[in-house]
Structure 1
């Protein structure tokens, strides 16, 4: 992996770690919820975020194994897709 490609992959990887932390906070909040309905709302949100995070992780793996000639195209597609995945994670911002 080239330096530029590695830098972008590290940026995406750092974002995944941040999303893991946000999901963990949401799980902690869900565990504190008193009402079943409230817990259900939390866990629906958590499941959705985990699914989006999983899709982003799969895309990161594809990006990491791409040869240098193809990674620029993948980078553009990945950045677009990641911005769509990122939106639901802005709930805490």
Structure 2
């Protein structure tokens, strides 16, 4: 397996884990009071939008040429960092 394939699989696994985390946050939001639920649902929507951007970056990686792969990988890593920070922030507020 090439480094490229391994990286893409690792990124897909991270996205799958993130979806499981978002699903947990949704369950917590459903049990919250009305005002808190609205705020939490907004945060979940933002997380899902960032997750979709990350999924699109992964697709770009999968379909990129070898020459463009390093540049797209750098963009994917920045997107992942942003998504991770958003998830960490949401987790802290959902307790």
| TM band (smaller chain) | 0.7 to 0.9
Cα distance per residue 1:24-65 (max 9 Å; x no partner): 0011001112x2101101101110101110111011101111
Q: In the TM superposition, what is the alpha-carbon distance from 1:86 to its structure 2 partner?
A: 1.8
TM-score scaled by structure 2?
A: 0.85
User: Counterparts of 2:39 and 2:75 in 1: how far apart (Å)?
Assistant: 32
Q: Which residue of 2 aligns with 1:64?
A: 62
Structure 1 stretches lacking a partner, 5+ long: none
Structure 2 stretches lacking a partner, 5+ long: none
Higher mean displacement: 68-77 or 5-14: 68-77
User: Counterparts of 2:40 and 2:75 in 1: how far apart (Å)?
Assistant: 30
- Which protein has greater RCO, CA pairs closer than 8 Å, 6+ apart? 1
* 1:37 paired to 2:35: yes
Q: Which residue of 2 aligns with 1:7?
A: 6
Runs of 4+ residues over 3 Å off in structure 1? none
Equivalenced residue count is 91
TM-score scaled by structure 1?
A: 0.87
